[in-house]
């Protein structure tokens, strides 16, 4: 009824396991074969571990004394494979930065002196006016087509049109238009006039103290004007008022000298070149007066005709010329390097998991994947 179980102390059990003479009920090998198989498995595991520590080149049949393949060639091949990806990502980032974030311009004339001097390089922020309105005192870069210069009023297209325009200008195609840079004096709804009893420009009846940014010795204006800025438009003037061709000299043009807000490309916020001229371009303190945002003047005074404005001979329009593609390309490559490294790490990790299976110590999938028909559980 009861099967006899031998204990380890049984002297007859040990010789069978050592010599491999033990047999099962069917006459086949039993414990000895299991012990021998475990020993072979252990030897194979030890040899496999030694092979993995020696590296992929030190496999069976490889002469340890033979010269190994240099890792420098492997790194060179890997770099050449990643280089096209790096270039493509850098170009895409450069176009995105130039189209939607930052663009550099240089100043070819002196009508914004001494704030901006000839050959200064400025950086224009294109994002800021998507997060806030245009403020008085901002230095803006805008397209003069359709207001001061012949042409149609520029309208910002959708994202794809802006990206296409940036891509075209990146490689020298397209027409940038008549690009100018001025300081915003009046925003929509403001009454801008000149001059008060002390010869100052006033906004909504509040005098501006402009000596901090006007060209030394330059009067606020020699022409008299009294205008109400229409909705969606801006009244802009240069800092070198004696030589600036600005809103005062275009009151006979469409818009009465004002420029549309849609023509604004962005805000100039820093001088980046030459190094001796590096500085931030802040909003002057006079434009932070709380009274400027008070109630506007009741009625507009008489608007002078173009003949009453200053003579335009010798005036400078302060055009801003786009610089080369060095800055967006440099920023694009700066952003492409970490992105290329990241995508390479992710790709190698995915490839390694597919090749080696789940990592050691991580539980395998507890249940089989769903499939048609009944699933047989073992």
Q: What is the pLDDT of residue 98?
A: 84
The fourth-level CATH superfamily of domain 102-323 is Umud Fragment, subunit A (2.10.109.10)
Going by C-alpha positions, the residue among 100, 83, 215, 227 that lies closest to residue 161 is 100
Q: Where are the domains of the chain?
A: 102-323
CB distance 245 to 236 below 8 Å:
no
| Whether residue 103 has pLDDT greater than 50 | yes
Q: pLDDT: is 264 or 348 the higher one? A: 264
CB distance 190 to 235 below 8 Å:
yes
| Whether residue 291 has pLDDT greater than 80 | yes
| Whether residue 96 has pLDDT greater than 50 | yes
Summarised one tens digit per residue, pLDDT across range 137-155 is 999 999 888 778 777 766 6
The pair of structure tokens assigned to 232 is 């969606």
Among 185-194, 292-301, 314-323, name the one with the lowest average pLDDT: 292-301
In the structure, what pLDDT confidence band is assigned to residue 343 with cuts at 50, 70 and 90?
confident
Q: What is the pLDDT of residue 8?
A: 41
Q: How far is CA 212 from the centre of its chain?
A: 34
DSSP for 286-342 reads GGG-GGGGSPPPSS--PPPPGGGS---TT-B--B-EE--SHHHHHHHHHHHHHHHHH
Summarised one tens digit per residue, pLDDT across range 194-246 is 999 999 999 999 999 999 999 999 999 989 999 999 999 999 999 999 989 99
Return the bridge partners of 292, or none: none
Summarised one tens digit per residue, pLDDT across range 5-38 is 444 444 444 444 444 444 444 444 444 444 444 4
Active site residue 182: yes
pTM of the full structure: 0.64
Active site residue 376: no
| Whether residue 173 has pLDDT greater than 80 | no
**Count of positions (residues) in the chain:** 378
Q: pLDDT: is 352 or 163 the higher one? A: 352
Residue in 126, 169, 178, 182 annotated catalytic: 182
Residue in 109, 111, 169, 221 annotated catalytic: 111
| Whether residue 70 has pLDDT greater than 80 | no
| Whether residue 301 has pLDDT greater than 60 | no
The pair of structure tokens assigned to 169 is 């200008």
CB distance 237 to 183 below 8 Å:
yes
């Amino acid at each position: 009824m009861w099967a006899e179980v031998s204990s380890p102390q049984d002297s007859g059990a040990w010789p069978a396991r050592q010599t491999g003479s033990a047999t099962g009920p069917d006459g086949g090998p039993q414990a000895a074969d299991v012990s021998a198989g475990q020993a072979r498995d252990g030897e194979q595991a030890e040899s496999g571990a030694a092979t993995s520590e020696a590296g992929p080149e030190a496999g069976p049949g490889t002469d340890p004394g033979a010269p190994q393949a240099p890792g420098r060639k492997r790194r060179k091949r890997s770099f050449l494979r990643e280089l096209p990806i790096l270039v493509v990502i850098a170009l895409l980032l450069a176009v995105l930065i130039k189209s939607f974030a930052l663009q550099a311009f240089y100043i070819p004339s002196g009508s914004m002196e001494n704030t901006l001097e000839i050959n200064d390089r400025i950086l224009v922020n294109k994002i800021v006016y998507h997060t806030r309105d245009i403020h008085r005192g901002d230095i803006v870069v805008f397209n003069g087509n359709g207001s001061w210069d012949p042409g149609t009023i520029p309208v910002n297209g959708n994202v794809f049109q802006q990206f296409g325009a940036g891509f075209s200008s990146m490689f020298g195609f397209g027409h940038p238009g008549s690009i100018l840079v001025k300081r915003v004096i009046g925003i929509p709804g403001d009454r801008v006039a000149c001059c008060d009893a002390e010869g100052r420009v006033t906004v909504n009846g509040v005098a501006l103290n402009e000596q901090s940014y006007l060209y030394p010795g330059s009067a606020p204006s020699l022409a008299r004007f009294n205008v109400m800025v229409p909705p969606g438009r801006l009244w802009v003037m240069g800092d070198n008022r004696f030589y600036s061709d600005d809103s005062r000299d275009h009151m006979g043009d469409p818009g009465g000298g004002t420029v549309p807000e849609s023509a604004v490309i962005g805000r100039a916020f820093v001088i980046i070149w030459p190094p001796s001229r590096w500085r931030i371009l802040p909003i002057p303190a006079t434009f932070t007066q709380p009274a400027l945002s008070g109630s506007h003047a009741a009625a507009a005074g008489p608007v002078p005709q173009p003949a009453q404005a200053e003579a335009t001979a010798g005036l400078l329009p302060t055009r801003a010329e786009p610089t080369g593609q060095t800055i967006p390309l440099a920023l694009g490559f700066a952003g492409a390097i970490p992105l290329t490294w990241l995508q390479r790490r992710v790709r190698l990790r995915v490839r390694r998991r597919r090749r080696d299976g789940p990592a050691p110590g991580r539980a395998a999938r507890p249940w089989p994947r769903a499939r048609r028909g009944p699933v047989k559980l073992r």
